[in-house]
Structures are given as structure tokens and as C-alpha cells.
Amino acid sequence: MNTIKSLFLLSSLAVTTTAIAELEPFTDDDLSNINGAGISFYTDNLSLDTTSDDPDKAGKIVINTNEFNEITLKNLQINKSGTTTKYSEGASIGSLENPLTFRIVEKVMPDGQRRDVAILDMPENADALDIRYDSYFRPILVDENGMRSSTPNERLFAQMELEGTHLNGSHIELWATEEEGISLATNLSLEVDSLNISADSDSKASIKGLKLTNLRNGSIFQPLHLRIVEEPSYYLPEGTSELQMKMVSTLQLEVAPLTPELATLLYTNPEDDELYSAEEYRTTLTDISIQQLNFKNQQITGYLDGIPQYAFIPQNPNENVMDIQGMEIQSMRVTFHDLPY
């Protein structure tokens, strides 16, 4: 849990110390409209740049996944889509009429308990963003007694670049329970014009025209749980060839299967207490589409109508290379493990 707390703290510090935003004072009319329902805000000129000509001075976020591995995020840049420098025009996220809002409300959970729930709503009119960052991986070597012995240089894991990123109209709820820890309910809508991933000069991938609508993951009836669990981790002591095992704390995400009683509540329309019709429930499901997929991890063996064979591009430009409609995450469990170095 300390790792998660550190990540949230570092992320907050990175944003608050490097974001550039134009803030305007409230007028008397604005103040008279405040009703105590939560916090609302918007930005007129937001950008973020943690790069530096001196690598030692560049901003970074270091994540200790456990005692054996370390991930570092460097050279994070966020700016209005289409601009190229740190001094370019910043992005507008929301407006006075349609701001980003954060509030805490009391909700009655299915077990009858009342809990405070933090709710974040993204505005519908945020500017598209370009986001770039480098991620590095550093394995931590240990000796035959399980103690740290030396730390090799970090190595580039991947360079990420998202162009034309829209995260409009998304909704996130967060609460805590003694039994399960952090619980989430999310409904995300995302559009990305281009997503480029580079591991090295010969390992690249790009996705163009990614559109994700109503990605619902968790609800008050079926929360997405974030918990810390004990799992075996295998490591290779320096100077030996035999793997060793040690129990370590790691992150687990889970959406547990629904019980029949909770399924009835989930599939009931709260406006009329009747079960959703097929047409009504279809509007709550997830749609995913991708216009193009491109991979480069080996030599090009040939072309088809001028298109490299590692590229997936529909013949009809009005079609997508991938269309998934009506998807629903009914249950899942993801446990993070470290690979032996």
C-alpha cells in the first residue's frame, strides 16, 4: 500500500509543480452560485513538461513494484494536441458552465451500509491532449542471502506517445471498505487519434483511430477492488543460476462474479425499478473500434497494394480494422507478478 500512496503523492506533486494554468478570480455572481456540492474547476491554459537537457534535473516518477524491481517514468509531456513545444498554447479542460467536478456523497451500498464515495466527472468539452513519456525498468539484484548486492543501469522499456487524446464525459467513483480496501466504479470514454509505442528501433507498434465508449469496470453492485496480496516472487541471486522464491506484497485487481441477487439490482433500471429491456441495456455496454494497426518487429517480407504486410489497414477507408460492440466485463482478476531477471 505504501507503493500506491507514494505513486499518488508523486503524481500529485508532478502535476501541481509543473502544470501551467491561467486561473481567474471568482466574481460575486460566481460566489453566490456555490452550493457546497463539491469542487468544480476548469483550466484555460494547461501544459506539463518535465524534460530537461540535463538528465539529472528532469522530472520523474519512480515506482518500486516490490523490493526486486523498479519502474521510472521520465520526460512526461502533456500539451494541447497539435502543439510541439513547452511554450505553446495550453489546453482548455472544461468551462465555467461545464467544469471538471469532484465531490463526496453518501451512498447506501447493497449490504445496507452507508459509505462516503468520492466522485470525479470529466467535462464534455475538454481539448484534445498530446501525451508523451518514457518508461524505464531497473531490476534490483540480490545476493545469495536475498540482500541487495548491486543495481544495474536502468534500461528503456517503452516510449509512449498519444496524439489527439480525448477523455470526455468519463465518470469515476472511489470508496473504501475494511474488508476489500479501495473499491472503484468507472465508466470511461476515450478517443485517441494515434497511439505509438516504441521499445527499440525494430519493435514498434501504432494504433490509429482508437475509440472506446462506455468502458464500465466496476459498480456499487460489483466493485473493481484494488488490494495488496502476498504472492511468490522468483529472483536470481547474483553469481548463481538457481532461482530463489520469496513471498512479496503485490497489487491485485478484481471484479468478482455477481451473485444472482446483485445481478438483479445491476440489471434493474433505477428510474422505474423494472428490468432493463435489451435495447435499454445495450446503451450501457462498451464499444471499441480501431481504424488501423501497425506492427514492426521483423523485416518486411513484402507489400500488398503498397502496404507493408505487418500493417492491418482495411481496404475500405470508411471501415475499421477492429469493431467490438456490446462488450461487458462480467468478472476478472489481475495479479501483478515480477519476471526473474
Q: How many Å apart are CA 212 and CA 207, to the nearest integer?
A: 13
Taking the C-alpha atoms of residue 3 and residue 6, their distance in angstroms, rounded to an integer, is 5
Q: Would 273 be classed as within a structural domain?
A: yes
| Residue 23 to residue 268: CA distance in whole angstroms | 43
For residue 102, with 0-12 CB atoms within 10 Å meaning exposed, 13-18 middle and 19 or more buried, which class applies? middle
Q: What is the mean pLDDT of the chain?
A: 76
- Can you tell me which residue has the cell 432493463? 276
Q: Which of 27-36, 101-110, 128-137, 193-202: highest mean pLDDT?
A: 101-110
| 52 or 201, higher pLDDT | 52
CA dist 120 and 168 (Å) reads 12
Provide the residue type at 326 as one letter: G
- For 180-201, write each residue's pLDDT tens digit: 788 999 999 999 999 988 876 6
Report yes or no on 84 lying in a domain. yes
The pLDDT score that the predictor gives to residue 117 is 93
Q: Does a structural domain hold residue 340?
A: no
Q: For residue 210, is pLDDT > 70?
A: yes
In a domain, residue 51? The reply is: yes
Q: Kindly report the backbone phi and psi dihedral angles of residue 158, in degrees, each rounded to the nearest multiple of 5, phi listed first.
A: -165, 145
Q: Write out pLDDT tens, residues 270-300.
A: 888 888 888 888 888 999 999 888 776 554 5
Residue type, 242: E
**Cα(40)–Cα(19) distance, integer angstroms:** 18
Assess if residue 297 is contained within a domain.
yes
- Bridge partners (DSSP) listed for residue 121: 101, 171
Most confidently modeled range among 60-69, 164-173, 194-203: 164-173
At residue 14 the predicted structure's pLDDT band, cuts being 50, 70 and 90, is very low
pLDDT bucket at 167, cuts 50 / 70 / 90: confident
Coil, strand or helix: which one is 206? strand
What are the pLDDT digits (tens) for 215-274? 888 888 899 998 888 888 777 676 777 777 778 778 889 998 888 888 888 888 888 888
Give the range of the structural domain holding residue 169, as residue numbers without chain letter.
Answer: 2-335
Count of the separate structural domains present in the chain: 1
Structural domain contains residue 25: yes
**Rounded to whole angstroms, how far apart are CA atoms 221 and 185?**
9
Residue 88 has pLDDT above 90, yes or no: no
pLDDT at 22: 43
